[in-house]
């Protein structure tokens, strides 16, 4: 059952990436016709999804995540298997302190480790919930301001940046995909239990 859910998620990401690439290849003629006052990059950037892929350890994923959190203005939704990276946790706490609505979901078993930042975030006033319905709540997702989706194999840990081979995608201008992830996040959050 868990493999089927993982397969479905991979399939969704594959089709989303395929749709983005296909759309870039078959843009309507009006999108390719640009006046001298416009650049083609501006036309494409405003209407096409923007996907950035990063790979650790060679890319600084930790820094990219911390920077994205620093730019959030309204809301950050987090779903994590592990969250032990103090820089990421500090950025989430700082966002909460500046008025951003931060909500975090963690795998219940992994949140019991000494290194988990669940307690620290809860103590800072962030709503933290635990996913208990699964053997492993293995999602690694951040949704920022309903406009940026961060997801991939990257656990929010020091090891993911400096010891592992990991990946993430930062996806913008993909409202349907981000809405789908947001709804999935809300479904999980509704049945997750408050952090204790």
Residues recognised as catalytic: 138, 140, 145
The CA distance from 151 to 140, in Å, is: 6
> For the residues of 66-129, what is the DSSP string, one character each?
HHHHHH--SEEEEEES-B--HHHHHHHHHHHHTT-EEEEEEETTGGGSTT--HHHHHHTT-EEE
Burial annotation 63-81 (CB, 10 A radius, 16+ → b, else e): ebbbebbeebeebbbbbbb
Distance between CA atoms of residues 46 and 160, nearest Å: 32
- Give yes or no for a contact between 167 and 153, defined as CB atoms under 8 angstroms apart: yes
CB 181, CB 143: distance < 8 Å: yes
Instruction: Give the other-Cβ count within 10 Å of 26's Cβ.
Output: 7
Q: What Å distances lie between residue 153 and 164, 178, 182, 190, CA to CA? A: 10, 17, 18, 24
């Amino acid at each position: 059952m868990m493999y089927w859910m993982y397969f479905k998620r991979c399939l969704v990401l594959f089709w989303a990436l395929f749709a983005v690439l296909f759309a870039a290849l078959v843009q309507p003629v009006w999108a390719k016709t640009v006046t001298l006052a416009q650049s083609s990059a501006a036309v494409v950037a405003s209407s096409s999804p923007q996907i950035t892929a990063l790979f650790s350890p060679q890319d600084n994923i930790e820094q990219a995540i911390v920077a994205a959190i620093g730019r959030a203005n309204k809301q950050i939704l987090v779903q994590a298997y592990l969250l032990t990276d103090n820089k990421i946790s500090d950025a989430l706490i700082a966002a909460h302190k500046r008025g951003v609505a931060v909500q975090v979901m963690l795998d219940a078993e992994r949140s019991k480790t000494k290194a988990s930042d669940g307690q620290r975030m809860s103590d800072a006033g962030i709503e933290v919930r635990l996913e208990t319905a699964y053997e492993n709540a293995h999602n690694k997702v951040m949704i920022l301001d309903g406009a940026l989706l961060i997801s991939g194999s990257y656990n929010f840990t020091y090891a993911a940046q400096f010891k592992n081979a990991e990946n993430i995608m930062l996806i913008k201008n993909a409202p349907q995909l981000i809405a789908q992830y947001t709804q999935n996040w809300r479904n999980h959050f509704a049945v997750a239990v408050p952090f204790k």
